[in-house]
């Protein structure tokens, strides 16, 4: 089973036989996100989310949400998948799938939108649920006026001029 030990350090799997997200590749990523969702640690909300992030090389990193009794320390599935990939040296992401068990498709939270913008802005984002619904969205639609390093560089230049 290709996703069985995906929570072990450095574990991922590859869909290297394809370079663009086809319908079958899309379904494989959705299934990977569904499996990751089952690993969610959500004892307070019971809101389980899974994510699957694919690199340009075809590697797939999964993530699930992990809740803390101190709610502010809770981490979403999207960020877990991105952190796993980044910690393994990956930087070029093509696709991100987010799956939740909701009637309406659930978009990433504001914090996740920011992280997606910074680290996976060129990825195709697919929202899906357990009822078979799916929708492709773009980060510019989710976060139209994103904050990023451009603003920090502008602030540094202003400080240097003084």
Q: What is the 3-state secondary structure (H, E, C) of the chain?
A: CCCCCCCCCCCCEECCCCCCCCHHHHHHHHHHHHHHHHCCECCCCCCCEEEEEEECCCEEEEEECECCCCHHHCECHHHHHHHHHHHCCCCCEEEEEEEECCCCCCCCCHHHHHHHHHHHCCCEEEEEECCCCEEEECHHHHCCCCCCHHHHHHHHHHHHHC
Spot the catalytic one: 8, 20, 23, 78: 78
Q: Is 23 a catalytic residue?
A: no
Which residues form the catalytic set? 78
């Amino acid at each position: 089973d290709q996703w069985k030990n995906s929570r072990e350090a450095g574990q991922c799997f590859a869909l290297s036989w394809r370079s663009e997200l086809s319908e079958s590749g899309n379904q494989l990523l959705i299934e990977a996100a569904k499996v990751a969702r089952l690993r969610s640690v959500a004892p307070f909300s019971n809101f389980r989310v899974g994510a699957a992030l694919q690199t340009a090389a075809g590697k797939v990193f999964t993530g699930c949400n992990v809740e803390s009794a101190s709610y502010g320390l809770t981490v979403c599935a999207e960020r877990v998948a991105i952190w796993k990939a980044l910690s393994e040296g990956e930087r070029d992401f093509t696709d991100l799938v987010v799956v939740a068990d909701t009637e309406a498709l659930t978009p990433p939270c504001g914090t996740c939108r920011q992280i997606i913008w910074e680290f996976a802005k060129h990825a195709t984002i697919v929202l899906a649920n357990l009822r078979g619904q799916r929708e492709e969205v773009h980060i510019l639609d989710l976060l139209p006026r994103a904050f990023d390093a451009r603003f920090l560089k502008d602030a540094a230049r202003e400080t240097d001029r003084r």
